[in-house]
Amino acid sequence: MFTGDPCYNYTALDQPWRATRAVSSFSCDNSFTGNGWYRLLYYGMNIRMPESCINYFWCGTSYPFWLNGSHPEISEGIVTRQACGSYFTCCEQNVSIQVKACPGNYYVYEFVKPNVCNAAYCAGTQIHSKSFT
């Protein structure tokens, strides 16, 4: 195992309040002190960021961040995607993040600190079960 590979060197975020339909306005990812790799889980199960606009006040925050683009295949390696924070519009706020597909059918994300609060990265409520190729 190569420890520099983000598939094996990440922080797990198993926080049910990040789920798409979790309604609250108080959670904020301002504790991120810098870029870091994260794996999203939902009660221990693999989950990924939603790829479509999320209503504001969903995902346990005022500005839910969703992935504006598709998730990569393993063969693509690390890709850059835009994460959008919804409020009055679907992409009221945006940041560039890195995403990687990993063996074991999960993704890791290089999240950056959102530029507003209350803002947080969203986790979809559908469990990811796609087989990577």
Q: By residue range, what is the domain housing residue 112?
A: 11-121
Q: Specify the pLDDT at position 128.
A: 41
Q: Specify the pLDDT at position 133.
A: 38
Q: Does 105 fall in a domain?
A: yes
| β-strand pairing of 63-68 with 119-121 | parallel
pLDDT means per 10 residues, the chain with 133 residues, are 80 91 77 82 94 90 93 98 95 95 97 87 65 39
**Tokens describing residue 9:** 């060197």
Q: Specify the pLDDT at position 25.
A: 63
Tell me 21's DSSP state: T
Q: Specify the pLDDT at position 34.
A: 66
What predicted TM-score, i.e. pTM, was given to this entire model? 0.86
Total number of domains constituting the chain: 1
Q: Does 127 fall in a domain?
A: no
Q: Does 83 fall in a domain?
A: yes
The answer for 103, left when phi > 0, alpha when psi is -120 to 50, beta otherwise, is beta
Q: Does 3 fall in a domain?
A: no
Q: Widest CA span of the chain, in angstroms?
A: 44
CA angle 42, 45, 49 (to 5 degrees): 55
Q: Does 129 fall in a domain?
A: no
